[in-house]
Amino acid sequence: MAIDRITFELLRNTLDTIVDEMTITMIRTAYSGNIRDGMDFSCAVCDMEGRLVAQGVCVALHLGSIPDAIESVMAKFGHDIHPGDIFILNDPYCGGSHLPDIFLFQPVFSQDRLLAFLVIVADHIDIGGNVPGGRSVAATEVYQEGLRIPPVRLQHRGTPVDAIWEILAQNVRMKHMVLGDLQSCISACQRAQTMLLGAVAKYGDDTVRAWFGEILDYSERITRQCLSAIPDGVYSFSDYIDDGIARPEPVEIRLQLRVAGDEVFFDLTGTSAQVPAAINATLSFTKSAIYGAVRTMLPPDLPNNAGVFRPIHVHAPLGTITNPREPAAVSSRGVTGFRVIDAAMGALAQAAPGRIPASGEGGVSSCRIGGRRADGTPFIVWDSVTGTWGGRPASDGIDGCANFAGNLANAPVEVLEAESPVRILQYGLVQDSGGPGRYRGGMAVVREWEMLAPESVFTMRADRAKFAPWGAAGGQPGLMATNVLNPQSDHKLLAPKLTITLKQGDRFRHQQASGGGYGDPLARDPDAVLRDWRDERVSLAQAREVYGVALDAPGRCVVADETERLRTAMRAGVTKPTM
C-alpha cells in the first residue's frame, strides 16, 4: 500500500521516539555503571522479518551485528514465536559480538500476527570467564571467556524461564548487577511495546507494516545516490594492530575497496590470520565496522536501518582475524573492529578526497579492574577511556569525544570512586599531543588509577602504541599510546594489552593515542595556534618548531614578521630556523 508523505514522516519520528525511550529507560533503571553512565548498549526495532528498521543513538559497532543475531533466533525458533516470549543470546558464533554483549529480542504481535522485534544489546559488567569483567586479552578459546548462551528463551509466553536466570546467576561475579541490568532491558522493551502498539492503534496495522518496507527502501535509495557520486575504481589501504598478544608481530588489516556504480565492495583478503588471543572479530562485527565507516559519508539525517546495508558488500576470508574459525577467542575484538574502520576510512579517503578526516585515537581503551574489598565483597570496575578524533577537512579534531563507532562516555570520576575501591589520580588532556596539521588532531586523554583494594586484577585493552594514528592530506601522525605502572616510582612501561595483578597502592597510568592532523601544519592559521597556546593545548616550543608560529614572550599575540621568516625557512627544509 502507498503511504502519503506526512504519514511516512510521522511514523519515522514515532519509531525514532520509541528507540529513544528505550535508551532513556535503560539509563534510568540500569544497575551497572557501564550501562548507566558509559552507555555501552544499543536499542533497535526490527520488522517481522528481522530487518533493522530503527535504532537509537548508541553504539554503532553493536547495531550492524543485529541482523545476523536475529537471523539465528528466527532460524532456530521459526514459527514457534509467541506473545510474551523474550529470546536471549550472546554466542559470537550465532551472530553475537563477544560474550559480555547480551542480545535480548522481544517479539511484538498485532492482530495475532508477528509485527516486530524489539532489540537491546547491552555490554554487561561480567559474564564469568578467567578475568573479572569478561574481557580477557590473552584467552585462546571462546570457552575461556565466560558463559556462552545460544539462542534460547529467557521468557516463554510471559513466564520467566527460571533455569536460564539461575544459570546466569551462578556463572557471573556480580549477579545482582547482571540480573538487574537484564531486568532493565526487559523494562525498556515493555515500554517500547506499549508505544509501538499505540502507533498501530493510531495509524493502522497495515500502514505500519507497509511503512517498514518503505523506510528500508528510502534509506537504500539515498545510500545508493550518495555512493554513485564516488568515482568508480579500486582503492587499497592497510592499517595495523600493534601485535597479536601471543606473538610480537603486528597484525595487518589489509582492505581493498571497489566502487562500482551505486555499490561498494570491501574485500579483506590478505588480512592477517586469526591469532591465539582474544582480539579476533567475528564476521558480523567486521561487517558492522564497515557499515559504520560508510555511514560517515551519508547524510546525517538518513535513517539508520538495514536499507543502508544493502549496497555495501563485505568479504572477509574465513580464518582471518576479521572472520575467525570457531572456537577462536573474541572478547577483546573491539580493537580489531576499530582498526577495520580505520582501514575502511583510509580507502574511502582515496575514493573521496577532502571528505574523510584523519585517523582518531584508534578506538576505546577498555579497562576492567576486579577483585574483593577488604571485607571480602566482590567488585568490578568498568572504565573505558574514550577518546579523540582526527583533524577534519575543515576543522580540528574533537578532544575528549568518543570514537564515532563506539559512542561511549567516560565514566564520571566521582561515581567510580564512590562505588569502587579505586582512586583516579589524573584525568585530562595531554599538551602537544594532537597530530599537527592545518587542522589539528584531537588531544590524547590520560587517566591514572590507584588501587585501594588489597589485590586487584587489572585488564587493559588498548592499541596504537606502535602504529601512530595516521594524518591526512599532509597532516602529521598523532601521538602513540602508553601504559605505565607506578609512574611516581618504578615508571615501568607495559604492553598495550595485558592482565596483571596489582596490590594496594599500585598505580596504573594509561595515555591514549591522539588524533592525526589534517593538512599542512605550516598552513594553520597563526591565530588558531595562539588560541591553542592560551588553552594550554600546545607549548611555545611546539608553536614555533612544528607550526612555525612565533609568539611574543607573554604569549599575548602572534609576531607576524618572525612567523613569516620561520615558515619560509621551514618550507625550504631548514628544520631549526634561527631568529
SS (H, E, C) 44-59: EEEECCCCEEEECCCC
Question: What is the distance between the alpha carbons of residues 456 and 499, in angstroms, rounded to a whole number?
Answer: 10
| Three-state DSSP state, 192 | helix
Torsion angle, alpha carbons of 179, 180, 181, 183, to 10 = 90
Domain boundaries, the chain: 5-221, 357-524, 525-571
For cell 585488564, what's the residue? 459
Query: What does the block give as the cell for 262?
Result: 551505486
Strand order in the sheet with 365-372: 378-385, 365-372, 455-461, 497-503
Task: State how far the Cα of 187 lies from the Cα of 193, in Å rounded to an integer.
Answer: 10
Bridge partners of residue 447, in order along the sequence: 427, 510
pLDDT reading at 426 higher than 60: yes
- 530 closest CA partner among 555, 510, 513: 555
Segment 539-563 shows an average pLDDT of: 92
Residue 64's pLDDT is 74
> How many Cα atoms occupy the beta-carbon half-sphere of 419 within 13 Å?
19
Average pLDDT for 480-490: 97
The whole-number pLDDT of residue 407 equals 79
Half-sphere exposure of 400 (CA within 13 A, CB side): 10
Q: Tell me the pLDDT tens digit for each residue of 437-448.
A: 999 999 999 999
State which H helix or E strand residue 107 sits in. Answer: strand 101-110
**pTM of the predicted protein model:** 0.95
The owner of cell 551519508 is 298
> pLDDT averaged over the chain?
95
Say whether pLDDT at 542 is over 60.
yes
Place of cell 554466542: 91
Residue 61 has pLDDT above 80, yes or no: no
* Res 361 pLDDT > 90: yes
The DSSP line for 321-359 is TTBPPTTB--TTTHHHHHHHHHHHHHHHHHHSTTSSPPP
Alpha helices in 228-282 (DSSP H): none
Cα gap 294→227, rounded to integer Å: 9
pLDDT in tens, 433-474: 999 999 999 999 999 999 999 999 999 999 999 999 999 999
- pLDDT tens by residue, 79-130: 899 999 999 999 999 999 999 999 999 999 999 999 999 999 999 999 999 9
CA-based nearest residue to 231, from 393, 348, 312: 348
CB contact at 8 A, 5 and 214 = no
> How large is the average pLDDT for residues 311-338?
97
| Strand-pair category, 378-385 with 365-372 | antiparallel
Please report which confidence band the pLDDT of residue 576 belongs to, taking 50, 70 and 90 as the band edges.
low
Q: Residue 496 has which C-alpha cell?
A: 598495550
Which helix (H) or strand (E) segment holds residue 565: the answer is helix 560-571
Which residues of 452-537 form beta strands (DSSP E)? 455-461, 482-485, 492-494, 497-503, 507-511
Q: CA 208 → CA 13, 67, 414, distances in Å? A: 13, 20, 45
Q: Pick the closest to residue 360 from 296, 300, 314, 271 (CA basis).
A: 296
Q: Give residues with Cβ within 8 angstroms of 416, minimum separation 6.
A: 33, 381, 383, 422, 424
Write out pLDDT tens, residues 62-86.
777 899 999 999 999 998 999 999 9
Q: What is the pLDDT of residues 497-532, one digit of tens each?
A: 999 999 999 999 999 999 999 999 999 999 999 999
| Contact between residue 353 and residue 262 where contact means Cβ atoms under 8 Å apart | no
Residue 575: its pLDDT value, please?
58
Average pLDDT over residues 364-368: 94
Q: Following DSSP, what letter does each residue of 238-251 receive, concatenated?
A: EEEES--SSSSSPE
Mean pLDDT computed over 294-323: 95
